Amino acid sequence: MNDKIVERSAGGNSAAEHCIENDHLRVIISELGAELQSIASVATAENYLWHGDPSVWSGRSPLLFPIVGSLKDSLLKHNNHEYPLPRHGIARRQSFTAASVSNGAAEFELRSSAATREVFPWDFSLTVAYTLSGNSVYIENRVQSLSDDTMRFTIGAHPAFSLPLHNTSIDNYSIRFNDDNALRRYALDDSGLLATKGNPYPLNNNRIDLSASLFDDDALVFKQINSTCLTLCHNDQARLSVHTGGAPHLGLWAKPGAAFVCIEPWFGYSDAEDATGQWADKPELRSLEKNETFVHQWRIEINA
């Protein structure tokens, strides 16, 4: 059975939400940004996704498109024009159309418009498909170019997972990597730009231990990771896993001391401090010719 719920946001705009369900999970997705709102266990009703408390951080699982992170001066510079493209792009603030919703699957589409072309001057179709299988949520992002000239972009995920703190503390949580012994962290400056050089970031038995101060200096950004699975653990017991689908870069973030952590598979990252600001010079962009499609599938697996 699937539901459609209309919820009034703080800004006074309504956003339809859709529920998909199987024997294990009940998942709610908003048409605003095609964003996950909850991933709940059918057996226990526990929600594994952060609830989006606006006094802490209102996001839950925003889709990052057509950029991940920040551009230098917040401008996309292309063909002698400047386009004001905000951090993490535009998809998370756009209303998607629910193309199909069934018992265990839902698909949402965003098409370029006059408004999107003011900040990203290409025509595109962006589809986000959610499918439930067992205790996993599969998320497939499909980007199709509808432009006559080459379209370059990047894309990433930003899911935030709850850290229940009843009778425990953040210090009892960790993120386990399935294959990484040579991570390098690239620091972010106050404007969200990356350092040009990364520093070695050793793991503790293949894991990063969480703490209230871990993100005091903003996100942990890692380029070219080997791991394809990041597992959120509580007292060394798996709570959930993010299967990256081969995304080459990773961000980890939370508001310091907040009861959530973001595990973010990325295909790009912020501009470097010494970036030219020219779109043609930006590294790690994907390129599509007209009618070509980029597809990325990743997965959230509930282990607990």
Helix count and strand count (H, E) for the chain: 1, 25
Contact 9, 110 (CB under 8 A): no
| Cβ(157)–Cβ(140) below 8 Å | no
Per-residue model confidence as pLDDT tens digits over 128-152: 999 999 999 999 999 999 999 999 9
How far apart, in whole angstroms, are the C-alpha atoms of residue 128 and residue 108? 5
- Taking a C-beta distance cutoff of 8 angstroms, is the pair 294, 288 a contact? yes
Q: Is the pLDDT of residue 7 over 90?
A: no
Q: Note whether 254 and 245 are within 8 A (CB).
A: no
Task: Show the CA angle centred on residue 23, arms to residues 136 and 141, nearest 5°.
Answer: 30
Q: Report the C-alpha gap between 229 and 130 in whole angstroms.
A: 19
The DSSP H or E segment spanning 115 is helix 114-117
Residues in Cβ contact with 171 at an 8 Å cutoff, skipping those fewer than 6 apart: 209, 210, 211, 212
Report the CATH number at residue 39. 2.70.98.10
pTM: 0.95
Banded pLDDT at 14 (limits 50, 70, 90): confident
Quote the pLDDT of residue 160: 98
Contact (Cβ atoms closer than 8 angstroms) between residue 257 and residue 212: yes
Q: Does 11 have pLDDT greater than 50? A: no
Q: What is the predicted pLDDT for the residue at 230?
A: 98
Stretch 93-111: mean pLDDT: 96
Q: Which residues pair with 97 in a beta bridge?
A: 109
The pLDDT tens digits of the residues spanning 30-83 come to 999 999 999 999 999 999 999 999 999 999 999 999 999 999 999 999 999 999
* Average pLDDT along the chain: 94
- Of 175, 161, 299, which is closest to residue 230 (Cα–Cα)? 175
Report the amino acid identity of residue 227. Answer: S
Question: What domain range is 22 assigned to?
Answer: 4-302
Read off the pLDDT of each residue in 248-255 and give the average, rounded to a whole number.
Answer: 97
Number of domains making up the chain? 1
Length of the chain: 304
Q: What is the pLDDT of residue 304?
A: 66
Residue type, 11: G
- Partner residues linked to 288 by β-bridges: 151
